[in-house]
Amino acid sequence: MILSRACEYAVQALIYATSQRPERFLAVRDVALATRIPMAYLSKIIQRLVARGLLSSRKGPRGGVRLARLAGAIKVLDIVEAIDGLGFLNRCVIGHPRCSETHPCPLHDAWGPLRDEIQGLLARRSLGDLVRELRGRGLPGRRS
Amino acid sequence: MILSRACEYAVQALIYATSQRPERFLAVRDVALATRIPMAYLSKIIQRLVARGLLSSRKGPRGGVRLARLAGAIKVLDIVEAIDGLGFLNRCVIGHPRCSETHPCPLHDAWGPLRDEIQGLLARRSLGDLVRELRGRGLPGRRS
DNA sequence: GAAATAACGGACAACGGAGTCCATTATCTT
DNA sequence: AAGATAATGGACTCCGTTGTCCGTTATTTC
């Protein structure tokens, strides 16, 4: 598993938040119901997204959470960084403790470009892109 | 982390076994010392590699483990399959429960080729390749 | 101001991966 | 045959992730 389950949940929840009118505050409970993510756990994850500045929140009736920035300004990599951190992009594939550019493991050279592609993909795609992809499924002219 | 720690250990241990004279039986204890992997844990991992037919073992004095096939016939993907299974190659990146070709998640199309590249890399490289890479470092004519 | 609402935050339970310990079994050496 | 050696397999601990529960705090509505 490349991303933690919590991180997968975060992406799913943020996609849902983006797909609704981003102006409005959504109750965590509603996000949990819509995405079928365990509500109390999602609550923790969302707390973290709020702390990291991806979501803003409001307490009390008619409160909830909403995107803190425009959907186009939140990259998938931002979400991953907020939940999992970016360590998995630097870590040696076979866990060799001394793996580096000067002391590469036997998979290092072949893995490097792949790792860069993964990072690039996550860094390019924004929440806005993902929701547009969801809506425009099957239409010509998509980027990938 | 893309591979489990146990799987990383397995690759490291098998690389070491390949780098020694593959005819001889190596004591798990020696492999653990050379690779700095916790010995009792490595013992469990190696048991699994024996059960899966990647290593063969012999008990008693002068016993130990050695490659069950030629180093060129053991692909990195075989090791991953033996320890972690191949589930991570099928699993949706963002954990969407209904993600498939007909019901793709918004990252599905972009992720597919990347997943294939990862699988391809692991399926192409054998233990023999890795050890050759280790030995021939810096020489011209390497493949990657 | 009171009641309802919804995020916040801490404590805890459940689960699996990582790692240890030890008794057993098979094999080699003398 | 006896003792030493090394893998095998079971039970166990430790810890981070996943997930739950509940009281507190802030805010809105009436």
Could you please report the per-residue DSSP string of B15-29? HHHHHS-TTS-B-HH
Comparison of pLDDT for A96 and A143, the residue scoring more:
A96
Interface contact B89, partner A, CB < 8 A: no
- Residue B59's alpha-carbon distances to A76, B26, B45, in angstroms, are 51, 11, 17
pLDDT tens for chain B, 144 residues: list them: 899 999 999 999 999 999 998 889 999 999 999 999 999 999 999 999 999 999 999 999 999 999 999 999 999 999 999 999 999 999 999 999 889 998 999 999 999 999 999 999 999 999 999 999 999 875 544 444
Please give the pLDDT value at position B68.
Answer: 97
Average pLDDT estimate for A5-17: 98
* C-alpha span between B79 and A7 (Å, rounded): 27
Please give the pLDDT value at position B14.
Answer: 98
- Residues A51-87 have pLDDT tens digits of 999 999 999 999 999 999 999 999 999 999 999 999 9
Interface contact A133, partner B, CB < 8 A: yes
CB pairs A-B closer than 8 Å: 85
- With a 7 Å cutoff on the CB, does B51 touch strand D? yes
Question: What's the one-letter identity of residue B144?
Answer: S
Q: What would the two tokens of residue B74 be?
A: 């053991």
Q: Do A114 and B125 touch (CB under 8 A)?
A: no
Domains, chain A, ordered by start: 5-136 (1.10.10.10)
Interface contact B21, partner A, CB < 8 A: no
* C-alpha span between A112 and A26 (Å, rounded): 40
A67, A127 contact by CB (below 8 A): yes
Residue with tokens 């965590």: A28
Residue with tokens 């997943």: B115
* Contacts for B132 with CB less than 8 Å, ≥ 6 apart: none
Task: Annotate B60-88 with DSSP letters as a single string.
Answer: STT-EEEESS-GGG-BHHHHHHHHT-SHH
- With a 7 Å cutoff on the CB, does B1 touch strand D? no
Task: Annotate A104-138 with DSSP letters as a single string.
Answer: --TTHHHHHHHHHHHHHHHHH-BHHHHHHHHHTTT
Residues of A in contact with B130 (CB under 8 A): 106-107
Q: Do B11 and A144 touch (CB under 8 A)?
A: no
- Residues A103-133 have pLDDT tens digits of 999 999 999 999 999 999 999 999 999 999 9
Nearest to A118 among B114, B134, B142 (CB): B114
Q: Do A1 and B91 touch (CB under 8 A)?
A: yes
Please give the pLDDT value at position A144.
Answer: 40
Q: Which residues 75-94 in chain B have a CB closer than 7 A to strand D?
A: none
Quickly give B59 CA vs D1 C1' distance in Å: 20
- Residues A13-44 have pLDDT tens digits of 999 999 998 889 999 999 999 999 999 999 99
The pTM of this model reads: 0.93
